Amino acid sequence: MIKRTGMNGKHVLLAACIAAAGYVQAQQQPPVVVKANQLVSEVQPTMWGVFFEDINMGADGGIYAELIKNRSFEFLKPLMGWQVQQDFFDEGALQVLNRLEKNTPNPRFLRVTKKAAGGNLAVTNEGFRGMGIKKGLRYDFSLQYRQPAAGLSLSLELLNNEDKTIGTATVQTPATGEGWQKAAVSFTASDSASKGRLRITFTGSGSMDLDMISLFPADTWKGRPGGMRADMVQKLADMKPGFIRFPGGCIVEGFDLSQRYQWKKTIGALDERQLIINRWNFEFAHRAAPDYFQTFGLGFFEYFQLAEDIGAAPLPILNCGMACQFNTSELVPLDQLDPYIQDALDLIEFANGDVNTTWGKKRAAMGHPAPFNLTMMGVGNENYGPQYVERLQLFMKAIKAKYPDFKIVTSSGTDPDGKRFDYLNTELREMKADIIDEHYYRNPSWFLANAGRYDSYPRNGAKIFGGEYAGHSDKVVDGKRQNNWQAAVAEAAFMTGLERNAAVVHMASYAPLFAHADGWQWTPDLIWVNNLQSYGTPSYYVQQLYSLNKGTHVVPALWNGEAVKGQDSLYISAVVDQKSKEIIVKIVNASSRTQTRDVVVEGAAKLNKTVSLTTLGSETLWSINSFEQPEAVSPKTTNITLTGKNKLNYTAAPYSFAVLKLKM
């Protein structure tokens, strides 16, 4: 039986009229016109980069692959991270000794004394929220030791989440005498564990001093001993970032000046790199991390090397003589600023100097005689006020006197607007600043509303570095925000404005970069990791799509003769790539409606009929990626076909970001 729909003739006619009207409306939309031969400006090779800070266990416990927490007993509580197992009574079996007068960078060590051959004595390290262990992988253990006489033996047990042994080794410590020695042993894990631990058992009798106890997986990035987690570096390499900013962030400023980042203390032998407390250890009461310290195993040499590995320009940021203004606001008196300025000058020599210079020689001694080609540096992170200006002036004068072409990145403070920002923006431009660093942690609607922010910025004078930004779905730093598609699609829309204004915006980076699922302080973040896995958020894929498709020159993309920055909730920008001979159009539909537009390319010879279309999107704004579904929101590439000469018809799904590549 045919069921009647309940529509009478009148209804059918009305429905047809509505459909036809919609069709006519879609058909009547003027096209988006891309003017491929009107080169507006170059896109800098540095345009899209990454911001690295040791926040959220990004370095220690994160990309720095060391598995032993508190390897040199320098945490505030010297045995933090170590559990002692001792089944006999002897108060002095384990002692922490401090040789501060003799060894300032690494004063403490552990003295183990076992008087009788019987009894069990062991220490177990819990790792950074456990140790990620992979079945079949080699693990490299090492330590420094000193013993008056032989007698004590060391054996290792790698334990899984259930305390089952999944790897064993014996450490040979044959040397005796007063000097420190090194011992090392490698072994293979027989099983995987997400929260493994390492136990060191002492048998026999005697006494031994231990320091710098270390365990690294063999599968570090480029197989470098003592290196970085390969999966995390790969995520950066996959973005092909134009620059890498390091080491922060607020970490540069320090809670107070004694806790500021000092690059000279992060190079050379590991046991000479003086550990300090990480400022994110206690910054947020709701996310306290009492075991968060900076060992500087990942130091400035390694940052430069990382930059080189992933083809990114290095962008170090140095302390300008001011501690964090959210915290102590300590200032270095102006007449005592010289050592800070000297640090900046020496850093340029460390990176670029000939191997015969004082600092170039140190770089060469670390294994890199060739220069790192440093061309820019930030002075101060989120510093502000006249106190910043007067310190910055002294840095600029000294650096430009010695290196006139060297570029200095300057701070515009904590916010992208308001009196503080206006003051600095005026002062910095009067000082003829090279690059102004603007930060915007804002909700998604701010990003949508600000896609035209740089359209009116002066084209001459200071260039812009969008040095830290992220869409926050609600207020800043409440610990609940997720990297959802709502934030990412708004960032994608805003970035059309950065791209359109590449004449003035020379660099931009999302922040923060990494977060450990069990050790974060700040959300949202670009890439999430646990001890074994890592995944990119929807925002990561937005960043990656821009970076991989940055082109060489901006060209106009116009609708009704105007830049597309929110009309009908559409955001569009276009570049040409003169190397790959492509026209690349980015289209963001920030509305809940499907929208169709013709895109017409003018000023190009006949284009290839096949067009590559990469889309990123989700049906709901609340979609996220996760360890279980790392690619729930991730780019999908397909081909579409031109519908006429240099013309295509594109239908943008609700809340979508698309990259169209047309071959010239």
- Beta carbon nearer to ligand AHR, 56 or 623: 56
**Based on CB atoms, which residue is closest to ligand AHR, 157 or 468?**
468
Question: Angle CA(382)–CA(387)–CA(388) in degrees, nearest 5?
Answer: 35
Q: How far apart are CA 89 and CA 91, in angstroms?
A: 7
Q: Name which of 436 and 502 has its Cβ closer to ligand AHR.
A: 436
Q: Say which residue the tokens 């820019």 belong to.
A: 376
Place of tokens 């009704």: 560
- The amino acid at residue 428 is L
Contacts with 616 (C-beta within 8 Å, 6 or more apart), sequence order: 488, 492, 538, 541, 542, 545, 633, 634, 635, 636, 656, 657, 658
Residue 417 or 568: the one with the smaller Cβ distance to ligand AHR is 417
Shorter beta-carbon distance to ligand AHR: residue 56 or 573? 56
Q: Cβ of residue 58: shortest distance to ligand AHR, in angstroms?
A: 10
In angstroms, what is the minimal distance from the CB of 494 to ligand AHR?
17
Q: Residue 534 pairs with which residues in a beta bridge?
A: 529
Chain position whose Cβ is nearest to ligand AHR: 249
- 3-state SS class at 635: coil
Whether 650 and 599 have beta carbons less than 8 Å apart is answered as: yes
Give CA separation, 288 vs 97, 128, 512, in Å.
28, 14, 18
Q: Which ranges in 29-169 belong to alpha helices (H)?
A: none
- C-alpha neighbours within 13 Å on the C-beta side of residue 120: 9
| Residue labelled with tokens 């340029």 | 348
Q: How far is the CB of 447 from ligand AHR (least distance, A)?
A: 16
CB of 620 to ligand AHR, least distance (A): 27
- What's the min distance (Å) between Cβ of 388 and ligand AHR? 14
DSSP string, 535-595: EE-HHHHHHHHHHHT--SEEE-EEETTEE-BSGGGEEEEEEEETTTTEEEEEEEE-SSS-E
Q: In angstroms, what is the minimal distance from the CB of 38 to ligand AHR?
A: 37
**Is the CB of 212 or the CB of 251 nearer to ligand AHR?**
251
Least CB distance to ligand AHR at residue 379 (A)? 14
- Residue 614 near residue 635, CB atoms below 8 Å: yes
Nearer to ligand AHR (CB atom), residue 250 or residue 576 = 250
- Kindly list the catalytic residues: 382
DSSP state of 137: -
Binding site for ligand AHR (CB under 6 A): 53, 55, 248-250, 381-382, 468, 511-512, 522
Please state the three-class secondary structure of 178-227 as a single string. Answer: CCCEEEEEEEECCCCEEEEEEEEEEEECEEEEEEEEEEEECCEHHHCCCC
**Residue with smaller CB distance to ligand AHR, 81 or 512:** 512
Residue among 382 and 491 whose Cβ is closer to ligand AHR: 382
In the complex, the smallest distance separating the C-beta of residue 637 from ligand AHR, rounded to whole angstroms, is 31
Which three-class secondary structure state does DSSP give residue 500?
Answer: helix
Tell me whether residue 212 or residue 250 sits nearer to ligand AHR (CB atom): 250
d(CA 643, CA 469): 38
Measured CA to CA, the distance from residue 149 to residue 179 in angstroms comes to: 12
- DSSP one-letter code for 123: E
Largest CA distance in the chain: 104
Under a CB-based contact definition with an 8 Å cutoff, are residues 663 and 610 in contact?
yes
Quote the least distance from Cβ 250 to ligand AHR, whole Å. Answer: 4
Coil/strand/helix, residue 453: helix
CB of 340 to ligand AHR, least distance (A): 19
- Local structure of residue 316 (DSSP, 8 states): E
Chain centroid offset of residue 121 CA: 41
Burial class (CB in 10 A: 0-12, 13-18, 19+), 539: buried
Strands, E, within 298-417: which ranges? Answer: 313-318, 376-379, 407-411
